Amino acid sequence: MALLLTALLGFLAKSAYAANRPTVDTTSGPVTGLVNRTTPNVAQFLGIPFAETPTGSLRFLPPKAKSRVNHIDATRFGHSCPQAEPAAPNVWSVDAPNFVIPANTTGEDCLVVNVWAPSKHSSSKQLLPVIVWIHGGGFQTGGGNIPYHDPSLWIERSQKHIVISINYRLNIFGFPNAAGLKDGERNVGLLDLRLGMEWIKANIVNFGGDPRRINLWGQSAGAIAVDYYNFAYPKDPIAQSYIMNSGSALLPIGSVDPQHTNFTFVASYFGCSGTPEAELACFQKVPFADITSFLKTYNDAGTTPALSFSPVVDERTKFSNYTARALAGDFSKRPAIMGTVVNEGESFLPYDQANGPNITLAQGFTLNFFLCPVVKTVSNRYAESVPTWRYLYAGNFSNISPQKWEGAYHQAELPLIFGTHDITDKRSTKFEYAVSHKMQDYWFAFASDPVKGLPKLGWEKYTPKGEAVLVGQEGVVSQPIKESALEAPCDGQVGKPGAVPPGASPPS
């Protein structure tokens, strides 16, 4: 009887969902979250550290797993990783600031996960599918506390899945490419994501999640990171499926600096020089806010030489030959959803609120940086008989895209999936809710069953002569679109000269 009582008390300690302060045991220590009035059926565990704070001698180095502590207050977001928004106005900062992290919320103690789960699920024996979210931001900005990326309302509606976001180091802190680092350890931001996934695998059961149904989902740089991960861990991906919005490993982004001059340039500004080891040790002592301030001032001024701190090819976390690897079957071969939005490129060109960007340039950007790399990635996956479902998003809602020229710009679909499209003063339409629910249902069905889930909803996997889904166009929630129509503007992974992206209007 005593042994039975001890076991029972241990179980309750691991998963004790109190009314407003649920507590769950983890490898980092017991975490106490919250349940609020806005989403009373969602337990939120915010800012749980999965790694030691990467400061001092740990800065710029691969992450170190968090040592267990006695208690973690998980009732508020932790810091987002050090970053600085550019001074130049853009679509997100001017028209949709809910895509931007709140001011004064960054710090190096940022390697945390946020967990959202049904608050009344802990007593159930049926483990739930898990969707792990990786934010975008060009590997320069972003974090887990972006208002539009909060899944609470989605889980309040669903009650059948868990969402977890992982913070990872960005810009020079995540991709230092310093000479004093070992080969294969210069993209520490990507290594952060792997450690985060390992933490989730070890702990998700205690939150009611199924470790056999972990879906890894990212958008933009987050989608690129997901595909990098797909190739980096072919035999032990932890994830059983992937969702990649507006990005793949073929998207042309990254730093090329074999001499490590970018890191040395910034380090020398702060008086750090000498051997690579001495340079690194010295730079680890500079306050992070000083580094971020310098980079912001330098980049906002357009000073040359330009500085770049993005993933570098290291043949461990980022490879030089993705198509060759794909066609050799050297990736994890898990099912995936992949797709883009109609007006990807408009938000990347100089912001002109009255007139919008040059349409020809914007459409070329859409093809070369988003649509065609995804087209090629899907083709490579099909050649290896790996199931892939493709979509095109065309929703145009004034509370997300207030300017007439914006339409379905880069990221515009995310508030529909997260269910946050209605958090602004301008209310959502019935059609917007219908599109949101359809996308949520697609994502949930796929996470629940990556092979059979979407066909049950009428969305068939990719074949060259088949159909993708077109979401949110001109009053139709979801409709078929020929795969050939998505591929027609592309020549391999680049756009054909003068081609127009599918769903877009020709330049006038």
Q: Give the C-alpha separation, 394 to 399, whole Å.
A: 15
In tens, the pLDDT along 281-290 reads: 999 999 999 9
360, amino acid identity: T
pLDDT value of position 424 = 87
Whether 410 is catalytic = yes
DSSP bridge partners of 73: 32
In tens, the pLDDT along 83-117 reads: 998 999 999 999 999 999 999 999 999 999 999 99
Q: Which pLDDT band, with edges at 50, 70 and 90, does 12 fall under?
A: very low
Continuous segment of H or E residues that includes residue 389? strand 388-393
| C-alpha closest to that of 242 among 374, 111, 110, 138 | 374
In tens, the pLDDT along 446-462 reads: 999 999 999 999 999 99
pLDDT value of position 121 = 63
* Maximum C-alpha span of the chain: 81
- The enclosing domain of 63 has a CATH number of 3.40.50.1820
Determine the structural domain holding residue 24 and report its residue range. Answer: 1-94+127-177+184-213
Q: Which pLDDT band, with edges at 50, 70 and 90, does 19 fall under?
A: low
Q: What percent of the chain has pLDDT over 90?
A: 92
Q: Please report whether residue 238 resides in a domain.
A: no
Q: What are phi and psi of 253, to 5 degrees?
A: -145, 150
Give the pLDDT mean for 214-233.
Answer: 98
Q: Which pLDDT band, with edges at 50, 70 and 90, does 7 fall under?
A: very low
Tell me how many domains the chain contains: 1
In tens, the pLDDT along 34-81 reads: 999 999 999 999 999 999 999 999 999 999 999 999 999 999 999 999
Res 123 pLDDT > 90: no
From the candidates 108, 279, 344, 467, give the one annotated as an active-site residue: 344
In tens, the pLDDT along 320-355 reads: 999 999 999 999 999 999 999 999 999 999 999 999
Q: Please report whether residue 111 resides in a domain.
A: no
Q: Please report whether residue 53 resides in a domain.
A: yes
Give the pLDDT mean for 417-439.
Answer: 96
Contact 308, 255 (CB under 8 A): yes
Q: Please report whether residue 367 resides in a domain.
A: no
| C-alpha closest to that of 502 among 368, 347, 342 | 342
Q: Please report whether residue 198 resides in a domain.
A: yes
Q: Which pLDDT band, with edges at 50, 70 and 90, does 122 fall under?
A: low
Q: Which pLDDT band, with edges at 50, 70 and 90, does 15 fall under?
A: very low
Contacts with 13 (C-beta within 8 Å, 6 or more apart), sequence order: 23, 25, 30
How much is the mean pLDDT over the chain? 94
pLDDT value of position 125 = 72
Q: Please report whether residue 385 resides in a domain.
A: no
Residue whose pair of structure tokens reads 């357009």 in the numeric block = 302
Radius of gyration of the chain (CA): 22
pLDDT value of position 6 = 37
- How many Å from the N-terminal Cα to the C-terminal Cα in the chain? 81
From the candidates 119, 152, 220, 401, give the one annotated as an active-site residue: 220
- The answer to whether the Cα torsion of 44, 48, 50, 56 is positive or negative is positive
Q: Following CA atoms 490, 215, 477, 499 in sequence, which dihedral angle do they give, to the nearest 10 degrees?
A: -10
In tens, the pLDDT along 265-279 reads: 999 999 999 999 999
∠ CA 293-295-299, rounded to 5°: 120
Q: Please report whether residue 239 resides in a domain.
A: no
Q: Please report whether residue 153 resides in a domain.
A: yes
Contact 147, 423 (CB under 8 A): yes
Give the pLDDT mean for 199-210.
Answer: 97
Res 386 pLDDT > 80: yes
Q: Give the C-alpha separation, 140 to 28, whole Å.
A: 27
Q: Give the C-alpha separation, 224 to 244, whole Å.
A: 8
In tens, the pLDDT along 155-165 reads: 999 999 999 99
From the candidates 410, 467, 478, 483, give the one annotated as an active-site residue: 410
pLDDT value of position 495 = 97
